[in-house]
Chain A
């Protein structure tokens, strides 16, 4: 190709009106800053983590700027397979995932309880929602003291009924459940607010029609109300699953992975501890753990995207 093959802009007829060019350039310009940021900090690092998971790396560079990483292939993953702490963490992740879903019925229950119009109900709703606004760090601290074996309020209450003191966070068999219970507190509040909004939009005519047909209580809830709450349930499900898999703050604050070795750890926590612990940085191994967690999460992300894609088609 020579230069002469290029069309002469002055000679070429204006094929498109100005308007057309603007609507094709404008979206690119509007997207660019956000997309750039997002690509650099989110999209590219995902691929880099995959890459790092095939290396043995302590996170350091040599003085000349080259990385000290050594390629080890699948070694990190093989090591993972034989690592009991990894399996403990994965198993705890499963517990989180299942038990965290209790936030959905619990949130629905509270929403039904509060969906009334008595004086001051607005304030009640806000105060019930309150735990969600507090940071998980503070929730963690609050529950650590709540569970404390010497002065914790829970043992005070148990003592009142004659039950002995329990050291919830000190017992590796129940510590995880104690942390999940703490996590359920804000998560239930979140689900509650989703359902309260959903209940607000329930079609009153259908409820009346249901009443005329003799539907009451649970039957009404199951056949008339819940189908109308489906969008709220879907969002509650998505945020709860994501929240369960992301659990990190509470574990770090309440037990720091203990008692013992990683008895309350989950993948998110184990990855962090491996990659940035005081016993040396193992970035490659940490990345391998992160990849596993990412793959699990990807199942839910794919499901969510598929749902969204279907809705988009429907519009």
Chain B
């Protein structure tokens, strides 16, 4: 193990390390802790300039209540949910199939199609912006959640295919060969042999895509406009405009917008990291 395990080092370094850990963490998260601190202060603290001192009263509950009751925030959150979940389902379903096709079959152009998915997943969004926006307008889907979902599914399929194909590649081929010898049809192989084995990959991808889509901002402002359809990342700017300079509310609002992916990460940590670090180990 590298660096040397702490248990094998001198007593002084052990104590230093143990005290450095929390200190480093606080420094690392300082900007975020500052926002948390703001979100529990009352409005009066900001008007009298008591930014960092002890809060004159703890208004955490009232502030967060106002975020939900006094703005479009619940609506934005709901939009985010209704954009994110269908995208996750759609992209994962499509890429299970593309990944299966590219991972199991040998045919001409296999690698070409695969590389096309990989390359497409890395292109800058701006090269797609004008045509995609135009097409969404033409389909009558501009400023709708559906318009956003369709694009997200398509784009995420690139990354998901990369992921699924490599995952299926690593499965033992003998399983599929054996099924074929038994006379199982290709569709049944997909459904009964491969898909059950892909469960960890599906879990990992779902959490990752959830986070990516929830946090998307660019496409939200390109394809949607108002509280009817905008997700929370775009909505937070309208929220901040509504509560301009009311830092206790803006802080609370930002934290609320950030909670779902954070919760997802802590609940599904193992899958999340497995997905993110795919390929980081040979």
* Residues of chain A at the chain B interface (Cβ within 8 Å): 19, 22-24, 26-28, 30-31, 33-35, 37-38, 40-46, 48-49, 52, 59, 112-113, 115-118, 124, 126-131, 133-138, 141-143, 145-146, 151, 153, 156, 185, 190, 193-194, 197-202, 204, 207, 220-221, 224-225, 231-232, 235, 242, 245-246, 248-249, 252-253, 267-268, 271-272, 275-276, 283, 286-287, 289-291, 293-294, 297, 300-301, 304-305, 308-309, 312
A143 touches B126 (CB 8 A): no
B276 touches A34 (CB 8 A): no
Within 8 A of A (CB), among B222-267: 222, 233, 236-237, 240, 247, 250-251, 254-255, 257-258, 261-262, 264-266
Given A44-B131, A141-B250, A145-B247, CB of A220 within 8 Å of CB of B2: yes
Smallest beta-carbon distance B11→chain A, Å = 14
Q: What residues on B are CB-neighbors of A42 within 8 Å?
A: 120, 123, 128, 154-155, 158
Q: How far is the CA of A115 from the CA of B2 in the complex (A)?
A: 7
Q: How far is the CA of A246 from the CA of B126 in the complex (A)?
A: 9
B78, CB-defined interface residue at 8 Å: no
- 17 chain-A/chain-B pairs, Cβ below 8 angstroms: A113-B24, A124-B21, A124-B25, A126-B265, A131-B29, A141-B250, A151-B49, A156-B51, A197-B281, A199-B2, A200-B281, A232-B277, A232-B281, A283-B130, A287-B130, A294-B127, A309-B115
Given A30-B100, A145-B38, A225-B2, CB of A297 within 8 Å of CB of B124: yes
Which residue of A31, A137, A290, A294 is within 8 Å of B217 (Cβ)?
A: A137
Q: What residues on B are CB-neighbors of A268 within 8 Å?
A: 124-126
Which residue of A116, A253, A283 is within 8 Å of B17 (Cβ)?
A: A116
Smallest beta-carbon distance B112→chain A, Å = 11
A31 touches B98 (CB 8 A): yes
B276 touches A134 (CB 8 A): no
The 9 closest A-B pairs by CB, nearest first: A41-B154, A135-B215, A45-B131, A30-B101, A34-B98, A26-B186, A151-B51, A197-B277, A290-B126
Q: How far is the CA of A38 from the CA of B180 in the complex (A)?
A: 30
Q: How far is the CA of A242 from the CA of B124 in the complex (A)?
A: 8
Q: How far is the CA of A264 from the CA of B28 in the complex (A)?
A: 25
Smallest beta-carbon distance A296→chain B, Å = 8
Smallest beta-carbon distance B243→chain A, Å = 12
Q: How far is the CA of A23 from the CA of B185 in the complex (A)?
A: 9
- Among B104, B120, B187, B262, residue most surrounded by chain A Cβ atoms (within 10 Å): B120
Q: What residues on B are CB-neighbors of A204 within 8 Å?
A: 1
Given A115-B2, A305-B119, CB of A142 within 8 Å of CB of B52: no
B82, CB-defined interface residue at 8 Å: no
A146 touches B280 (CB 8 A): no
Could you give, for residues 99-123 of chain B, a 1 whenever the CB lies within 8 Å of some chain A CB and a 0 otherwise? 0111011010011010111111011
Which residue of A46, A113, A248 is within 8 Å of B218 (Cβ)?
A: A248
B171, CB-defined interface residue at 8 Å: no
Q: How far is the CA of A207 from the CA of B35 in the complex (A)?
A: 43
Query: What residue in chain A is nearest B276 (Cβ atoms)?
Result: A193
- Among B24, B30, B123, B264, residue most surrounded by chain A Cβ atoms (within 10 Å): B123
Q: How far is the CA of A109 from the CA of B88 in the complex (A)?
A: 34
Q: What residues on B are CB-neighbors of A249 within 8 Å?
A: 217-218
Q: How far is the CA of A305 from the CA of B233 in the complex (A)?
A: 32
Which residue of A301, A304, A305 is within 8 Å of B123 (Cβ)?
A: A301
Could you give, for residues 145-179 of chain B, a 1 whenever the CB lies within 8 Å of some chain A CB and a 0 otherwise? 00000110111011001000000000000000000
A41 touches B155 (CB 8 A): yes
* Residues of chain B at the chain A interface (Cβ within 8 Å): 1-3, 5-7, 17-18, 21, 24-25, 28-32, 34-35, 38, 49, 51-52, 94-95, 97-98, 100-102, 104-105, 107, 110-111, 113, 115-120, 122-132, 134-135, 150-151, 153-155, 157-158, 161, 180, 185-187, 190, 211, 214-218, 221-222, 233, 236-237, 240, 247, 250-251, 254-255, 257-258, 261-262, 264-266, 269, 273, 276-277, 279-282
Smallest beta-carbon distance A31→chain B, Å = 4
Q: What residues on A are CB-neighbors of B247 within 8 Å?
A: 145, 151
A118 touches B125 (CB 8 A): no
Query: What residue in chain B is nearest A229 (Cβ atoms)?
Result: B280
B124 touches A130 (CB 8 A): no
Q: What residues on B are CB-neighbors of A231 within 8 Å?
A: 279-282
Given A35-B113, A283-B130, A286-B130, CB of A235 within 8 Å of CB of B123: no
Q: How far is the CA of A135 from the CA of B21 in the complex (A)?
A: 25
Q: How far is the CA of A276 from the CA of B5 in the complex (A)?
A: 55
Q: What residues on B are CB-neighbors of A43 within 8 Å?
A: 116, 120
Q: What residues on A are CB-neighbors of B269 within 8 Å?
A: 126
A49 touches B130 (CB 8 A): yes
A45 touches B157 (CB 8 A): no
B254 touches A26 (CB 8 A): no
A308 touches B257 (CB 8 A): no
Smallest beta-carbon distance A146→chain B, Å = 4
A37 touches B94 (CB 8 A): yes
Query: What residue in chain B is nearest A294 (Cβ atoms)?
Result: B127
Smallest beta-carbon distance A71→chain B, Å = 16
Q: How far is the CA of A41 from the CA of B134 in the complex (A)?
A: 11
A137 touches B123 (CB 8 A): no
Q: How far is the CA of A81 from the CA of B171 in the complex (A)?
A: 51
Q: How far is the CA of A124 from the CA of B3 in the complex (A)?
A: 17
Q: What residues on B are CB-neighbors of A207 within 8 Å?
A: 1-2
Q: How far is the CA of A290 from the CA of B133 in the complex (A)?
A: 14
B115 touches A308 (CB 8 A): yes
